[in-house]
Amino acid sequence: MQNQLYAVIDVETTGKGIRGNRITEICIVILKNGKVLDKFTSLVNPEQNIPPFITGLTGIDNDMVRDAPKFYEIAEHIIELTTGAIFVAHNVNFDYNVIRGEFKDLGYTFTRRKLCTVRLCRKLIPGLYSYSLGRLCSSLNIPLVDRHRAEGDTDATVILFQKILQLDPAFEIINSFLNARSKEATLPPHLEANAINSLPEETGIYLFKDKKGKVIYVGKAKNIKQRVISHFYDKKNKEYALGQDTHTIDYEITGSELIALLVEAEKIQQYYPKYNSAQKKPIAPYRIIQYTNRKGVIQLATDRSKNIHDSLEVFYKRSDAIEQLERLCFEYQLCPRYCSLQSTSERCSHYRIKNCKGICCDKESVALYNMRVQQALLSLEKQKESYLIREKGRAIDEHSFIMIQNGIYKGFGYVHQSEQVLHFDDFETYLKLQKHTYHTTKIIKGYLRKHGENNVIYK
């Protein structure tokens, strides 16, 4: 690696993640054999307003960049400076992708090999509390002037990279990072390549954790390793921010994709992770409920509630709940008015159901009407069956099961093929109890719609 050119670069931006982010200042220092050959620094007109919080951080405001060159005016010089050079930066993916995005808007593909001084320091100087530029400079006695300005940060990164070159005189670590097969250039700064290489290529869930060990994202995958890596190739702002905050990754093999979905839902409710958007809020589904009015008539109605344990039946669309009420009305000759299918207090006048026997106009006794309501309710109770869903296990010699008891999801478990489990109740010995929620009910119903009853064992 003697005589290799390195372009140590830092950019300040308008602060919009990766996509839509524009450069407000850039500094490039060219190194060869550890010596500075050239330096370029410039403010850049981003052609958009700089948010106040960015001005507070960098000191760069709209007035400072108003007469500065636009990126296209300095683009050719950046290409000339960096041609044949390895792109070096502290947290390189940020600076590299922002610059690449600017060139992409100009119709030019900017491609350079790259090195991250955060990742190199983690490898060559292990055990430090923090690898931020400020903390590293403090730990290694590197002067850092004009923090969060392109030139100040670049000057400090140059000294840091010169120390890295001294710590790796045979370029063993640097060459390994530059290896085309290495993931070092694409991984977030705080993750070791070994943490990714050790991930299983099996079905299960994975948890991204921040530097304090707090869960910030939960996901499920048929191939855990492949899915985790895909997060770091995604250039969306949210995925980039997730990568920046991730310090460790845990996982749990489930074998079954259905169990992975159920465990993912349970973990999201448990940890309320910062970067999960779906399933965080306990959605209130629609329910069919019963109550007795002042005349003693049992009425049916729909409402929404997070508490679904005492519901006669649960639905995810109001139209489905109404359709079920209409079916009960028609089959058991109930009154549309007393099933909340019309709001009028007068006798029923439903557009489709005409077989009411007259409870709404005192032509039928309350006792006889309530008997039919009870029959309708009994038909709903019969739908609350107990059954097991048999699924793949975590190994060839075991299978998994998901238990639903009286319509309520109880949990899941694993049984080795050598175990003699013959009766429904015997499975409770192997059961890992879980919470029954809107999301788990939806997951199980979706599974049954897709797969039918091929893997279902009834009590």
Task: Note the pLDDT tens digit of each residue in 162-175.
Answer: 999 999 999 999 99
pLDDT in tens, 141-156: 999 998 899 999 999 9
pLDDT in tens, 25-55: 999 999 999 999 999 999 999 999 999 999 9
Is it the case that residue 388 has pLDDT exceeding 70? yes
pLDDT of 113 reads 93
pLDDT of 278 reads 78
**What residue segments make up the domains of the chain, in order of their start?**
5-178, 193-271, 286-382, 387-458
Nearby residues of 228 by Cβ (< 8 Å), 6 or more positions away: 196, 199, 206, 219, 221, 249
Is it the case that residue 217 has pLDDT exceeding 70? yes
Name the amino acid, one letter, at 260: A
Percent of the chain's residues with pLDDT above 70: 94
Percent of the chain's residues with pLDDT above 90: 60
pLDDT of 309 reads 61
Judge whether 34 and 165 are in contact, CB under 8 Å.
yes
pLDDT of 341 reads 85
Q: 3-state class of 423 per DSSP?
A: coil
Reported as a pLDDT band with limits 50, 70 and 90, residue 383 is: low
Helices assigned H by DSSP within 133-218: 133-140, 150-167, 172-178, 193-197
Reported as a pLDDT band with limits 50, 70 and 90, residue 194 is: confident
pLDDT (average), residues 125-130: 89
Judge whether 133 and 157 are in contact, CB under 8 Å.
yes
Q: 3-state class of 329 per DSSP?
A: helix
Q: 3-state class of 216 per DSSP?
A: strand
pLDDT (average), residues 171-199: 83
pLDDT in tens, 242-285: 988 999 999 999 999 999 999 999 999 999 999 998 776 666 77
How is residue 121 written in tokens?
């320091």
Parallel, antiparallel, or unpaired for β 456-458 and 431-433?
unpaired
Is it the case that residue 299 has pLDDT exceeding 90? yes
pLDDT (average), residues 445-454: 87
d(CA 340, CA 353): 13
- Say yes or no: do domains 5-178 and 193-271 share a fold: no
Reported as a pLDDT band with limits 50, 70 and 90, residue 2 is: confident
pLDDT of 350 reads 66
pLDDT in tens, 409-443: 999 999 998 888 878 888 989 999 998 887 898 89
Q: Which CATH superfamily is domain 5-178 in?
A: Ribonuclease H-like superfamily/Ribonuclease H (3.30.420.10)
pLDDT (average), residues 191-200: 88
pLDDT of 310 reads 61
254-265 in b/e burial notation, b at 16+ Cβ within 10 A?
A: bbbbbbbbbbbb
pLDDT in tens, 68-119: 999 999 999 999 999 999 999 999 999 999 999 999 999 999 999 999 999 9
pLDDT of 282 reads 63
Is it the case that residue 7 has pLDDT exceeding 80? yes
d(CA 78, CA 255): 50
CATH (residue range 193-271): 3.40.1440.10
